[in-house]
With several copies, the nearest count.
Chain A
């Protein structure tokens, strides 16, 4: 028995650990460091219809226990991703989750339709929560009606299950989750970054050229856990949890909160081997905690009986 396997809509994962979108590019750099087939899945960088340069630099700033980024969805565009990046990834035995972004509904729909046809794309992650682009992005992720409508439109055209990525910059995360559930989402990924900023004392100006940016890393872990805890109790969709995960212990904490799989973002920058390390350490930690199968502990913090993971066959 593989104690780490997880079954989610569209995704048969050999383990529940995957790099988060935007923190792993399209995998090429990390493939020089380890075999990408070790990963549960890969969430590739956001893809938009046209190539994007993104924001001016500086694009990152450090904060206590975290970092800000304002990359601005830099990516080579739909065509190149489909023709170059995804085929290159086929050499690895790992399902791809394609992160879909845009400025208008039509953009999302076009990217979703095309990219979901690619063989190794097993699911979409609808990025309605990027705080770093002027139009679209976060607006879609903070107004329930808008999110629901977009989810519906994307579901109509997608050939694979659709996960919607929720923004933490809202008053009521459960309301948002319910809206996209009504829109037909197959799953949720959460959380994206919190809006933040740093100011340079010497210049008196924001450190980031974009002024504000998205806060990620360990600092946001308690916010992510709280939101997953709330949403998992109120919505019937599996959750891929993320936000500050650095260790096998963190992974279990996210499962206890209500996640059915996890993604690791910022920690890849601190330790590029963090994903395989976590995957390796999980079984031993599960032994110590008396966890038979990883899916058994989803939602343990609110459910006395281990919940049966969604879609576990």
Chain B
């Protein structure tokens, strides 16, 4: 059920330079189930900015009717969002899209969760749900620098966690794919969210042999599947017109399903 609700800011803090953790309270939390779904946020009431901003749900706290968003200040929309104070109301549309399929792994299986930068947040709720199901979770999280790292402890509480930084200022230097290879990490199913080059590398390395689920991003308008702004091409495309809408068919897809 997609809802539209004025949610209340419960807490809002900077957890890394320009990265904010925003906890919101609202009835629509009760409709949030799949990890990897997102909400469409209207950061201001008027026309400045005009469009909503898609942000992934990072954590669902059902018993309190609260959920968490983690975002990086990028442009005008997220800058305005960063100014919201506890008690303020924010217009939220959601939950939207289809998330990571948690039923693809059985209790006792191992799931590898690979996140890059601001793609890390939805993996937190995913990890929580997998753990609840009795799945073993391993996290490989890539960040630019030591300062950019967030939620490391939170992930560690759920399972083994490796950090990679581009500049080697923390954890291992290099790409998340290097970490997986070097550490010879074994897994039954891979879930990932992050920049396209990272997703491509993962698809190429593991897409053929393993179950791989990727969360994609694209510029959106409606966020609900009506405007065709956010399509991606499918791997099988007989008449050159096959597509999926990232907002409503995704944002999570099986790696073999879509062209990156």
- Direct A–B contact in complex, judged by CB atoms less than 8 Å apart: yes
Chain A residues packing against B (C-beta within 8 Å): 22-25, 28-30, 32-33, 45, 50-54, 57-62, 64-67, 69, 71, 74, 76-77, 207, 217-218, 246, 266, 268-273
B225: CB under 8 A from chain A? yes
- Are the C-beta atoms of A69 and B221 separated by less than 8 Å? yes
Question: How distant is the Cα of A77 from the Cα of B218 in the complex, in angstroms?
Answer: 24
Beyond A61-B219, A270-B52, whether A71 also contacts B228 by CB under 8 A is: yes
- Are the C-beta atoms of A64 and B240 separated by less than 8 Å? no
Chain A residues with CB under 8 Å of B93's CB are: 272
Chain A residues with CB under 8 Å of B154's CB are: none
- Are the C-beta atoms of B4 and A273 separated by less than 8 Å? yes
Could you pull out 9 A-B pairs where Cβ atoms are within 8 angstroms?
Answer: A22-B228, A24-B226, A25-B228, A53-B231, A53-B242, A62-B49, A268-B226, A269-B221, A272-B4
CB-based closest 6 A-B pairs:
A51-B241, A25-B226, A29-B226, A58-B219, A60-B229, A269-B221
Chain B residues with CB under 8 Å of A51's CB are: 239, 241
- Are the C-beta atoms of A29 and B231 separated by less than 8 Å? no
Q: In the assembled complex, how far is the CB of residue A27 from the closest CB belonging to chain B, in whole angstroms?
A: 8
Beyond A51-B241, A65-B48, whether A71 also contacts B4 by CB under 8 A is: no
Contact of A57 among B1, B47, B231, B248 (CB under 8 A): B231
B233: CB under 8 A from chain A? yes
Q: In the assembled complex, how far is the CB of residue A28 from the closest CB belonging to chain B, in whole angstroms?
A: 8
Looking at A24, A30, A54, A57, the one whose CB has the most chain B CB atoms below 10 A away is A57
Chain B residues with CB under 8 Å of A28's CB are: 225-226
Q: Considering only CB atoms, which chain B residue lies closest to A33 in the complex?
A: B2
Q: In the assembled complex, how far is the CB of residue B164 from the closest CB belonging to chain A, in whole angstroms?
A: 24
Q: In the assembled complex, how far is the CB of residue B216 from the closest CB belonging to chain A, in whole angstroms?
A: 10
Q: In the assembled complex, how far is the CB of residue A252 from the closest CB belonging to chain B, in whole angstroms?
A: 15
- Are the C-beta atoms of B47 and A268 separated by less than 8 Å? no
Contact of A29 among B1, B48, B218, B225 (CB under 8 A): B225
Chain B 219-260 interface mask (CB, 8 Å, partner A; 1/0):
111111111111111000001111100001000000000000
Beyond A32-B2, A272-B4, whether A23 also contacts B227 by CB under 8 A is: yes
Chain A residues with CB under 8 Å of B49's CB are: 62
Question: How distant is the Cα of A52 from the Cα of B241 in the complex, in angstroms?
Answer: 5
> Majority SS of interface residues in chain A?
loop
Q: In the assembled complex, how far is the CB of residue B78 from the closest CB belonging to chain A, in whole angstroms?
A: 13
Chain A residues with CB under 8 Å of B230's CB are: 57, 59
Beyond A29-B224, A62-B51, whether A57 also contacts B239 by CB under 8 A is: no
Question: How distant is the Cα of A273 from the Cα of B3 in the complex, in angstroms?
Answer: 10
Chain A residues with CB under 8 Å of B222's CB are: 23, 29, 268-269, 272
Chain B residues packing against A (C-beta within 8 Å): 1-2, 4, 42, 47-52, 93, 218-233, 239-243, 248
Chain B residues with CB under 8 Å of A268's CB are: 222, 226
- Are the C-beta atoms of B221 and A60 separated by less than 8 Å? yes
Q: In the assembled complex, how far is the CB of residue B75 from the closest CB belonging to chain A, in whole angstroms?
A: 9
Q: Considering only CB atoms, which chain A residue lies closest to B222 in the complex?
A: A269
- Are the C-beta atoms of A272 and B224 separated by less than 8 Å? yes
Q: Considering only CB atoms, which chain A residue lies closest to B247 in the complex?
A: A29
Question: How distant is the Cα of A67 from the Cα of B221 in the complex, in angstroms?
Answer: 9
Question: How distant is the Cα of A27 from the Cα of B94 in the complex, in angstroms?
Answer: 18
Q: In the assembled complex, how far is the CB of residue A132 from the closest CB belonging to chain B, in whole angstroms?
A: 11
Q: Considering only CB atoms, which chain A residue lies closest to B223 in the complex?
A: A269
- Are the C-beta atoms of B231 and A74 separated by less than 8 Å? yes
- Are the C-beta atoms of B50 and A58 separated by less than 8 Å? no
Chain A residues with CB under 8 Å of B228's CB are: 22, 25, 45, 54, 59, 71, 74
Question: How distant is the Cα of A74 from the Cα of B231 in the complex, in angstroms?
Answer: 10
Contact of A25 among B219, B220, B227, B242 (CB under 8 A): B227
Chain B residues with CB under 8 Å of A77's CB are: 241
- Are the C-beta atoms of B227 and A218 separated by less than 8 Å? no
Beyond A24-B226, A29-B248, whether A269 also contacts B231 by CB under 8 A is: no
Question: How distant is the Cα of A272 from the Cα of B225 in the complex, in angstroms?
Answer: 12
Q: In the assembled complex, how far is the CB of residue A290 from the closest CB belonging to chain B, in whole angstroms?
A: 19
Beyond A30-B226, A32-B2, A272-B93, whether A57 also contacts B232 by CB under 8 A is: yes
Question: How distant is the Cα of A270 from the Cα of B228 in the complex, in angstroms?
Answer: 15
Question: How distant is the Cα of A67 from the Cα of B242 in the complex, in angstroms?
Answer: 26
Question: How distant is the Cα of A102 from the Cα of B48 in the complex, in angstroms?
Answer: 35
Q: In the assembled complex, how far is the CB of residue A34 from the closest CB belonging to chain B, in whole angstroms?
A: 10
Beyond A25-B227, A58-B219, A74-B243, whether A270 also contacts B48 by CB under 8 A is: no
Question: How distant is the Cα of A62 from the Cα of B48 in the complex, in angstroms?
Answer: 10
Chain B residues with CB under 8 Å of A25's CB are: 225-228
Chain A residues with CB under 8 Å of B218's CB are: 57-58
Chain A residues with CB under 8 Å of B239's CB are: 51
Chain A residues with CB under 8 Å of B51's CB are: 60, 62, 67, 269-270
Q: Considering only CB atoms, which chain B residue lies closest to A22 in the complex?
A: B227
- Are the C-beta atoms of B50 and A270 separated by less than 8 Å? yes
Chain B residues with CB under 8 Å of A272's CB are: 2, 4, 93, 222, 224
